[in-house]
Amino acid sequence: MMKFNKMKLFIIPMIILLGMTGMLNITHAQTWKFAVISDTHDNDKTHTTTGVTPYLAPIINDIVEEKPDMVMETGDLIVGALTEPTSPVYKKYAVQYAAFQKAVEPLKNANVPLFVIRGNHDYGAANEEADLQKVYLEKFANRMPQNGPADAKGLSYSFVHNKVKFIMVDQYVHATNKDATLPMDWLKTELENKQGVDHIFVMGHSPAYSPTNEKKRHFNLYDQPALRDQFWDLLVKNNVTAYISGHKHVYFRGNVKGVEQIGAGNLGSALSYNPETADKNLTNLFPTTSVSREDNRPGYIIFTVDSDKNTITANEYCLDTDNNKYLYDTYQFTF
């Protein structure tokens, strides 16, 4: 009895002391995660019954298990504007977005917020789909932070979480002729407003540098090299950690002038990748050899931020043909 009381005398003050110094919470306070997905639309534009890839549901379950603080989707939520008339959900945008919301419901149940931006499938060739815009605004844009440009509230926006700033950029406001647009003035202000921010991630739908030598004009930022260069120079000048995009349906990672570009478009559809044909401005980092369309599997990225070590680790997980996840790429940002 005497021994137990002595232990209590020691343990209780230790707990109080550790609690006061915050050391009891050391793991939770200093390490946290966020996940990135993109291009969650169905690959089959002609026969899709939902507009959403069947890979989204298993990937969302895997992401919930990681307990991230939040998830970002960088556009093309549904087949949307590119759905063919042969599909039973042709022009049924509310039905397609409802299917997307159903697939991501486990995030809501786990209290994990989801931040989304539009892709070209969520926009249309020249925003001629009034219904599409209406449903997107109601179901998504109105529920995002409303600190974007006056003509893009809820479409472009930013937020800070644990000293990491996320700038989510819509590329379709006033877009015509299949050219992507950028809110450059707003972006510049957002990038320069970084007081108390340790790291910045910028996300938008189109890669800034192409993974292929294809020349088709299709809302690609790299179709407009002058605008793209202006955009990238802003990222470089403001020490952005990475620009994350989707659009091209491949996972690829490279670096231009010290800023990482991560293409995360390999969820719903697949393209082959050959580093030899990627934009020559890009210092290719992964994959270093050609990947066939079949081997370019659906995937998602889990970022782990360790404020104590000042590192950010990124793991790209993919699903095999039985929907089992495997680690495809892992790398670390150190600062």
* Nearest residue to Fe ion, by Cβ distance, number only: 76
Q: Which is nearer to Fe ion, 155 or 250 (CB)?
A: 250
Q: How many CB atoms lie within 10 A of CB 260?
A: 20
Q: Is 39 in the site for Fe ion (CB under 5 A)?
A: yes
Judged by CB under 5 A, how many residues of this single chain contact Fe ion? 2
What residues between 264 and 303 interact with Fe ion by CB under 5 A?
none
From the list 20-28, 72-80, 201-209, 237-245, the region that binds Fe ion by CB under 5 A is 72-80
In the complex, least distance from residue 278 CB atom to Fe ion, rounded to whole angstroms: 18
* Cβ closest to Fe ion, residue 56 vs residue 200: 56
Among the candidate windows 70-78, 84-92, 169-177, 178-186, which touches Fe ion by CB under 5 A?
70-78
3-state secondary structure of 190: helix
Q: In the chain, which residue ranges form alpha helices assigned H by DSSP? A: 2-21, 26-30, 56-65, 93-103, 105-109, 130-139, 184-192, 225-237
Place of tokens 């946290």: 32
Instruction: For the CB of residue 75, give the shortest distance to Fe ion in the complex, in Å.
Output: 7
Q: Which is nearer to Fe ion, 39 or 129 (CB)?
A: 39
- Alpha-helical regions (H) of 66-143: 93-103, 105-109, 130-139
Q: Which of 73, 76, 129, 260 binds Fe ion (CB under 5 A)?
A: 76
**Do 3 and 13 form a contact (C-beta atoms < 8 A)?**
no
Q: Six-digit token pair at 196?
A: 């108390």
Question: How near is the Cβ of 82 to Fe ion at its closest, in Å?
Answer: 8
Rounded Cα distance between 143 and 270, Å, is: 30
Nearest to Fe ion of 76, 170 (CB atom)? 76
Alpha helices by DSSP H, listed for 104-171, are: 105-109, 130-139
Complete DSSP assignment for 165-178: EEEEE---TT--TT
| Minimal distance, residue 245 CB to Fe ion, in Å | 10
Q: Which residues bind Fe ion (CB under 5 A)?
A: 39, 76
